[in-house]
Structure 1
Amino acid sequence: MFTFLRCCILPALKLYLLGAKVLLGQLFNKTFKLPEMPQQEGKVAIVTGGGRGIGFEVALHLARLGAHVIIGGRDEQEGLAAVARIREEQREAKVEFHSLDLGSMQSVRRFVQGFKNRHLPLNILVNNAGIMLVPEGRTEDGYELHFGVNYLGHFLLTWLLLDDLKQSGTSDCFSRVINVSSSAHRIGEIKLHDLNSSEYYSSHAAYCGSKLALLLFSLQLQKELRSGGFPVSSCAVDPGMVDTALYRNIWEPLRLAQGVIAQLLFWTPKEGASTVLYAALSPALEGEHAQGYWANGRRQMTSPLTFDPQLQQDLWETSVRLLGLQ
């Protein structure tokens, strides 16, 4: 009983208390307003989960600035509708949708191969798609859903696109990888011996752990890029608590009240997208100035676990092994 409480009930309580703290912070702090960004003509951006919510706002803004935007997502109808909405506003927008299921490593590889066949540059990769508090389940490759979709799918996508990012960057205009994490990383844990959460399953713990993994990956990727001298930067962004469909699986009493709470305290998808776009586009964050963890337009401190270089390296090597990468 004690183990069940510690592994299943405690993570839920921690996450909801953290959520309350974040909402109070949003109540008493102004949202970051994205300054005017330079035009992106000739640049290519991939945005995962760009069919709705934060991802859609990121894709829309990039298209407004003239970038060629590729939306990757699982829901074709939703993705094509997003393309149509963007083109309604920007008739000449270069935007398209391609199928990408981050819970399928075969789908990720197929998406990347399709991109590479076109011989396009890749200047911006926004790893935005995610799931939260879904019931226990496995991806088609056998990974716990949060770990597989939020983290491992994005790890593979980024790894396979690294050569394109490196070739597209220059010494004065780095390519950028933006990983959309969450304040939930602060209460996440990484159990390298049990990444599939097979001992005692908690969707709350699994979600927090996946966002911690994404942040650890972002930091380790920056180290790898810097040591190789490549013109690519990597950072993580916390968009805040945003009024999107991500929260449809929260505790039922809270879900019933979410409509009222969201209107009062949640940020809009456009507001949530502001720091993501700032990290992806700002000239002030050129090169290694972009590295780190960004929230509400500022670089912020992360949890102590993220500073553990051995954990960063071990997770990286474990991920490479799981995916059969060289």
Structure 2
Amino acid sequence: MLSTVRCRFLQPVFQLYLLGFKVLLAQLFSRPFRLPVMPRQDGKVAIVTGGGRGIGYEVVLHMARLGVHVIIGGRDEQEGLAAVRRICEEYKEAKEFMKLDLASSQSVRHFVQSFKQRGLPLNILVNNAGVMLVPEGRTEDGFEQHFGVNYLGHFLLTWLLLDTLKNSGKCGHFSRVVNISSSAHRIGKISINALNSCKCYSAHAAYCNSKLAQLLFSSHLDQELQRRGFPVSSCAVDPGMVDTALYRHLWMPFHLLQSTIARLLFKTPAEGAATVLYTALSPALEGQSEGGYWANGCREMTTPPTFDPTLKLSLWESSLQLLGLP
């Protein structure tokens, strides 16, 4: 019995590090995607979660450069305000920080309420913030942390902002939802009857499962929006292995080497942000189905579960129930 439990715990660990090694090799032998010159985006409003550092910061910086009114939604107020000050030194376009803790449904609801009271449009929502391999714990609402922050927090945020996204989009100028995913979804598993279970907890499995859930949500959302004819699209982006603080909870042997390896072999945050910005801003994607899964500037195939309409619908309905949404 003990050996079975140990095997169930270690399997996702080895799977994830093996996958990471393969992704790193692929990055080393391929040319990083370079963002084409984007047109000005004056008048547009964007929300970027986790925009105070890493990939999110680079997304905010580039959007501000193009004239977008960007709102950073983040948990760390000091970090977010510092990011705003740095960007304001270069660009005068409106950018600001608003407190948002994705581990708290109350915080998410308060963020949305505060945003809507201002009467602004919302043209771009970048669901970027996330946690990876954090120790076992629960969110304010009792959800496993990876599932609660990476998936449910962004699900709730997107759901509550959907009416504003719909009203802000129009034919030829769709509003866009960009979900930052990961190749880790390829080894994730979704059990509808145990979405929030911490039995035989593995941070590695929990992270992979949350990224698969995020991808299923992104795909189902896009299909529903297209089916109902709303001027909003949804896609998922894998930025690759990027030198950010996300990797600070790696297994100790890897963590000791990570900072050195990352500087030498990982993408820079700006390189990781390129495909995110492309899917959020590119006029080349306007007028076609903008959904799907993107990596290094191209659409990529995903795993079989992401094509299962029953699984996507079941996850969607279960998420609504868990969050107390109609």
Whether TM-score is above 0.5 comes out as yes
SS of the residue 1:193 aligns to = helix
Question: 1:287 & 1:22 partners in 2: Cα distance?
Answer: 32
Question: Which aligned pairs between 1:1-326 and structure 2 lie closer than 5 A?
Answer: 1-90=2-91, 92-326=92-326
**Contact between 1:179 and 1:214, CA under 8 Å: does it hold in 2?**
yes
SS of the residue 1:157 aligns to = helix
SS of the residue 2:4 aligns to = helix
Structure 1 unaligned segments of length 5 or more: list them: none
Count of aligned pairs: 325
The letter for the 1-side match of 2:26 is: G
Question: 1:64 & 1:19 partners in 2: Cα distance?
Answer: 33
Question: 1:217 & 1:178 partners in 2: Cα distance?
Answer: 11
Identity, % of aligned pairs?
70
Question: 1:84 & 1:243 partners in 2: Cα distance?
Answer: 23
Please, what TM-score do these two structures have when normalized by structure 1? 0.98
The letter for the 2-side match of 1:97 is: F
Shift of residue 2, structure 1, vs aligned partner: 3.7
Question: 2:63 & 2:4 partners in 1: Cα distance?
Answer: 47
**Contact between 1:55 and 1:273, CA under 8 Å: does it hold in 2?**
yes
Question: 1:160 & 1:95 partners in 2: Cα distance?
Answer: 22
**Contact between 1:232 and 1:287, CA under 8 Å: does it hold in 2?**
no
Shift of residue 198, structure 1, vs aligned partner: 2.2
Judged with a 3 Å threshold, the aligned counterparts in structure 2 of structure 1 residues 324 and 215 are, in CA distance, closer, same or farther, namely same
Question: 1:88 & 1:253 partners in 2: Cα distance?
Answer: 40
**Contact between 1:86 and 1:93, CA under 8 Å: does it hold in 2?**
no
Shift of residue 302, structure 1, vs aligned partner: 0.3
Shift of residue 5, structure 1, vs aligned partner: 2.9
SS of the residue 1:189 aligns to = coil
Shift of residue 287, structure 1, vs aligned partner: 4.0
Residues 186-245 of structure 1: CA distance to partner in whole angstroms, max 9, x if unpaired? 000011111123221000000000000000000000111012100000000000000000
SS of the residue 2:176 aligns to = strand
Shift of residue 288, structure 1, vs aligned partner: 4.0
Question: 1:76 & 1:7 partners in 2: Cα distance?
Answer: 39
The letter for the 1-side match of 2:87 is: I
SS of the residue 2:186 aligns to = helix
Provide the aligned C-alpha RMSD in A.
0.8
Moved over 4 A (4+): none
